[in-house]
Amino acid sequence: MNQPAGRPHAASQSLPEPSRTPSEGLHCSHFMYRFRRDILAGLSKRRLRDGMRQFLAAVDPGEATRPAKLQRYIISGHKADFALMMMDADPLKIDAVHQAVVSGPLGAAVEATWSFVSMSEISEYVPTVPQYREKLIREGNMPDSPELAAKVAAYERRLPMMNQQRLSPDIPDWPAACFYPMNKSRVPGANWFMESSSLRQTLMAEHAQSGMAFAGRVSQLITVGVGLDDWEWMVTLWGRNPEHLKEIVYRMRFDQASAKYGEFGPFYVGYSATGQEILDHCRITD
């Protein structure tokens, strides 16, 4: 029997099982919220008290319903009061926390003001071991030198750990964090996606080098929103101190990858907090 045009025989290809779980990496969501003071003012003391209890349970769920990674932040400025950042293999486990926050006795007084949906990935710009070796040679290392061999061997040992950190990061216990979405430009004369792979690789290597200067002070996670949300990437920065977040963003703006090709969305800065600290800071009391 003839097969319909454009539809290869099922036996000729191996397809993965349908699933919402990625083959590698995690789903990631950032949610920004604001308390509606006008609605809070109309709640009875009992409803407010019940709502506060439900809120605390929602932002600190038990083991069975808790995403693999969950962080809470008090947000500075008028754009939001607090934020949740979550990562898990199941996107609905993440969204269930959001639904719990906006439901219940306090739910009507909690307004979601912004969100971003993305996934963790290993970027195409992470050099392979052979690419890293060639880069070192271009920088002046002798091809047959022991120094080059030692650097390449050290990179080969680090690479699996670095890639795992990109897919499922160990979130540092630091007080400050910054979140912002970004795109790469498509304007004439600065269309990132029309540049050669080698140029893009070189520019991103320069960009990475700038970030390395902040090792130990800033930790970074880039998640991809292509096909998932309005922006292409989400940048999450954790800092030992908010001044380090200011410094790294300023420094990296001078890299050509940002200065010529970067487009940036809204910035949010937050400070790690418990659910009770969020309520106290926002003056939500019974």
Q: Where in the sequence numbering do the catalytic residues fall? A: 180
State the Cα–Cα distance between residues 163 and 176, nearest whole angstrom: 24
Query: Are 223 and 236 contacting, i.e. CB atoms less than 8 angstroms apart?
Result: yes
Shortest CA distance to 235 belongs to which of 114, 245, 151, 105? 245
Burial (CB < 10 A; 0-12, 13-18, 19+), residue 78, is exposed
- Let me know: does 77 contact 46? Beta carbons within 8 Å: no
Q: Are 185 and 261 in contact (CB under 8 A)?
A: yes
CB 201 within 8 Å of CB 97: no
Give the list of residues 6+ apart from residue 106 with CB closer than 8 angstroms, or none: 43, 48, 50, 51, 52, 54, 55
Pick left, alpha or beta for residue 76 (phi over 0 → left; psi -120 to 50 → alpha; otherwise beta). beta
Helical segments of the chain, H only:
37-40, 45-59, 91-101, 129-138, 146-167, 197-212, 242-252, 256-259, 275-281
Helix, strand, coil percent values for the chain (each to nearest 5)? 40, 25, 40
Which residues on adjacent β-strands are paired with residue 114? 32
